[in-house]
Each structure stands twice: as C-alpha cells, then as structure tokens.
Amino acid sequence: MATMSKPSIEPVPVLERYHVYHAEAHVLSGHIEHPIQQPIEHYGNVVLQKTRREGLFTESVGETNIEGLISFKAGHTRVSGSQLRNKTDIWGNDHSGWVTQSTSVLEGFNVIDVLTADRVVAQVSTEHPMVYGHVPKVTFLGTRFENLRIAGYPVQLELDLGFCGSKPEGDLPYLQDSGFLDRVQGQLNSMADGGGLPEVLEKQYDAKIAYIDDLRRRANGGANGDRNGYSKLQCSLVKSIGPIPIPGVRTFGNMIFIPDFGTVSLAEVEVGVGPADGGFSDNSRDGSVSETSYSNYFTVTMLNMRLGCPTSATTQAGTAKANGTTQP
C-alpha cells in the first residue's frame, strides 16, 4: 500500500514594518478682499511628500510686505522625517520609531500696525512606534509667541503644549480617546461659561458639542476601520489669555475680538484621521507610495485672522502639519 506524503506547508512570510512620512509647513497664506482683491500665496511652502525616504527640506523667505497691510521681516520653514533605532531616554523610555517634524517661523510680523509679534513659531512632531501600533505620540514643543502685542499692548498668553495628552492606550486614534474628547469639550465649556458669546459663536459651540457627542457614539460601535472615517476636531493650545486694556476688546477661549480690526484665533490645532498613501511600490523610482490607507494628522496654525473694517481679509500665519502611516 502506497504511503501518502503530507503536503508541505509554506511558512507565512513576516512582513517588515515600514513608515510613510508626510509633513507640510508655510508661514503665511490667505486672501485680501478690501481695499483690494488679492490672494496671499503660501509663502515659504515646503512639503515632505508621502514617501518612505528619510529627508529634510527647508525654505526661507526674505522681508515681505503685502501692500503695506501685512508684512514680516523673515520667515523659514522646515520639514523632516527620520527613523530612530534603539533610542531610549535617561529614564529608560523607548523612543524607537519614525519621527516626523514640521516647523514654521515668522519674524517681525505686522498686521496693519495693530497686531505685531517679534517671533511666531509653530512646531509639531509625531513619533510612530516601530514595533506595535499605528497611532503616534505628538508634541508641540517649541511652539510659542514672542512679544505678541495688540496696538502696542502685550498679550499675556499661557499655552498648554501637552493638551493632546499622552498617546491613547490600546492604539486608539485620538478622536476615539475619551480623555482627549473630554479635554476638548472642557475647553469649549470654559469658553461658553464666560458668558456674552456672540450668536455666531453660540451656534459654533452647539455644533461642536454635538459633533463630540457623535464622535463618542461612533467610537463605541462599529469596526475599527470605520468608527470615525475621515473625522477631524479643532481645539487650541491656548490655556489662558490675560486682560488687554483696549476698549471693546473681548476674549473667548483662544479668540480675541478687536473692534475695528477683526477676530484673531491663536494656536489653533486640528486633529484628524484622513486618507494617506500607505502602500509602497518597490518599483517606484522616487520612493513614492501608491495605495490609500488611514493617517492620523496634527495641524497647528498660530494666527487665524478674520479682518473686518477698514481692511477685509482672511489670513493664516504660522502653519505646520505632521502625519504619516505605518504598515503593516
């Protein structure tokens, strides 16, 4: 009787983890509507394109004056991506992984001789783990305002650079982490508790609270891949703003309303989950990526201004974004 040999079992190959970097930064952008119609280009725009290649890219902008309305003496941006192997700090904490950093710096910033700052720095860094997980640790270390003034009066600011908190347990995205959602809601509540919110801000507050409630419901059900989809949530690194002795000036959270000038939002942060090119083609000559997956991203904008009379404009100053994705 013939003996049947057992079919051989091919070992399942272990896929090596890799990371796709992405970061963006620019110092100024927007649009002037009055007294002239003029777009404001993305000054100092620099991008670390979605790639597996480590890299460092910088851009510098010299003294710039936009029709005498908005000016700065200098600006520079920097984006980088690198892999750290066997990296531990003096406490023994493991920091091995892929680090992406984005930086935007403005010097000698001036908006219609009302809002001025010696230096504005936006900086965000993400650290994706090398061994397990896809959600990064994030830090805004380096982010700051230096000598921010309104009509010559100093603006006393306290920033909370750790507002996003530690990396959520269980590799949960930040938008599924109850601790992060609680902090954002607490920030919104403190704005509303101050009283005197304009109607437009009341509507925004109600919409944001409803959205956070929706995120909580979505985080509690469904598969990991579709709990939040391409969601995003805005918050701020501003912890407090001191009094500004100018008649009519009001503060609401991270927002400053200035009569005859407009509204300025400080140190805005957008935290989100969006599409990212996570697949990699070994045949690609430039190291670009080809397939779509999810990416956690963090964007900080230091000054988001909506100017009214006599100058009408929307402009963003000091913007830095970092994100990426790890596979498999």
pLDDT digits (tens, 9 = 90+) for 236-269: 999 999 999 999 999 999 999 999 999 999 999 9
User: Does 7 sit behind a cis peptide bond, omega within 30 degrees of 0 on the bond before it?
Assistant: no
State mean pLDDT over 139-164: 97
Q: Is there a domain that residue 6 lies in?
A: no
Q: What is the pLDDT of residue 7?
A: 55
Residue 285 has pLDDT above 90, yes or no: no
Whole-angstrom Cα distance, residue 19 to residue 99?
10
How far is Cα 4 from Cα 90, in angstroms, rounded to an integer? 60
| pLDDT value at 224 more than 90 | no
Judged against a pLDDT cut of 50, whether residue 128 lies above it is answered with: yes
Whole-number percent of the chain with pLDDT over 90: 64
Q: Rounded to whole angstroms, how far apart are CA atoms 136 and 323? A: 9
Q: At what angle do helices 199-219 and 178-193 cross, to 10 degrees?
A: 160
Mean pLDDT of 150-178: 94
Q: Which residues pair with 76 in a beta bridge?
A: 60, 105
**Cβ–Cβ < 8 Å for 34, 311:** yes
In whole angstroms, what is the distance from residue 69 CA to residue 63 CA?
A: 14
Average per-residue pLDDT for the chain: 86
pLDDT at 292 over 50: no
Whether 7 is in a domain gets the answer no
**Residue range 278-295: mean pLDDT, rounded:** 43
Say what the pLDDT of residue 8 is.
56
Per-residue pLDDT at 221:
67
Its domain, for residue 263, covers 18-327
Residue 182, in any domain of the structure: yes
Residue 293: predicted pLDDT: 58
Q: Judge whether 2 lies within some domain.
A: no
Counting the structural domains of the chain, the total is 1
CA distance from start to end of the chain: 47
- Phi/psi for 41 (5° steps) reads -65, 165
User: Confidence class of residue 10 from pLDDT cuts 50, 70 and 90?
Assistant: low
In a domain, 8, yes or no: no
The neighbour count for residue 259, using CB atoms within 10 Å, is: 12
C-alpha closest to that of 22 among 322, 301, 289, 328: 322
Q: 73: closest CA among 146, 140, 141, 123? A: 146
Q: Could you tell me which of 21, 16, 94, 29 has the C-alpha nearest to residue 61?
A: 29
| pLDDT class of 275 with cuts at 50, 70, 90 | low
**Least confident range of 230-244, 276-290, 302-316:** 276-290
Segment 38-48 mean pLDDT: 96
Please give the average per-residue pLDDT across 272-276, as a whole number: 74
Q: Which residues pair with 235 in a beta bridge?
A: 269
In a domain, 277, yes or no: yes
90 has a pLDDT exceeding 50: yes
Residue bearing the bigger pLDDT, 279 or 152: 152
The answer to whether position 178 is within a domain reads: yes
Asked if residue 66 is part of any domain, the answer here is: yes
Q: If pLDDT is split at 50, 70 and 90, which confidence band does 144 have?
A: very high
